[in-house]
Amino acid sequence: ADESFPFLKGKKVVFSIGRVVKEKGFDTLIKAAAILKESNPELCFVIAGNGPLLENYRQLAEQLSLTDFVYFLGFIQDGTRKGLLARADIAVFASTYEPFGLAAAEALAAGVPTIIAETGGMKGLAEHLKTGFYMKPDSEESLADSIKYILANEIQAKNIALRGKISVTSKFNWEENAISTEGVYEMLTARQESGLSNFKADILRRGLK
């Protein structure tokens, strides 16, 4: 990932991906970056995905003097996404509304310390300080605190991430757990612009055998 994106070199990467719309909470992530810029210059925030608010959020980052701290990649291919997840030190999903949380599930399955907003279906993906980390929706202070906690407790965070990986992999073993038709339609429509197509197709193939 560092070869494709030189700005990652030597940085701790905070990664998020999703359709760039209001309910995904990217504005909260950008504001959390602003809180952390002075105290944690070793960080680099990477946001992947397209959507109608992408340019608005670029402007917000510029207004907050974050152009060398928060990077917007737009739509990314599956290989790039997997490489960034492998490179990420922390994954963040700050959604204010999220029926399922497919991208968060993938981050957990990749063994990345993952922060999720306490909202909707995402709360069922992980337990705070057991298999993942929570943040309050719409609270950049809460998100910044969770990021700082992970950075300050690296060994614990890695152990939590490992438990998260085991938990989510077991939870979504589709051979043993039936998947609802409603869930299938949700997964088919929810991530069209965020670069999760192959991961989604793989889940559906395994789930609908």
Other Cβ atoms within 10 Å of 45 Cβ, number: 26
At 122, the pLDDT band (50, 70, 90 cuts) reads: confident
Q: What tens digit of pLDDT does each residue of 6-29 get?
A: 999 999 999 999 999 999 999 999
pTM of the model: 0.85
Q: What is the pLDDT of residue 178?
A: 41
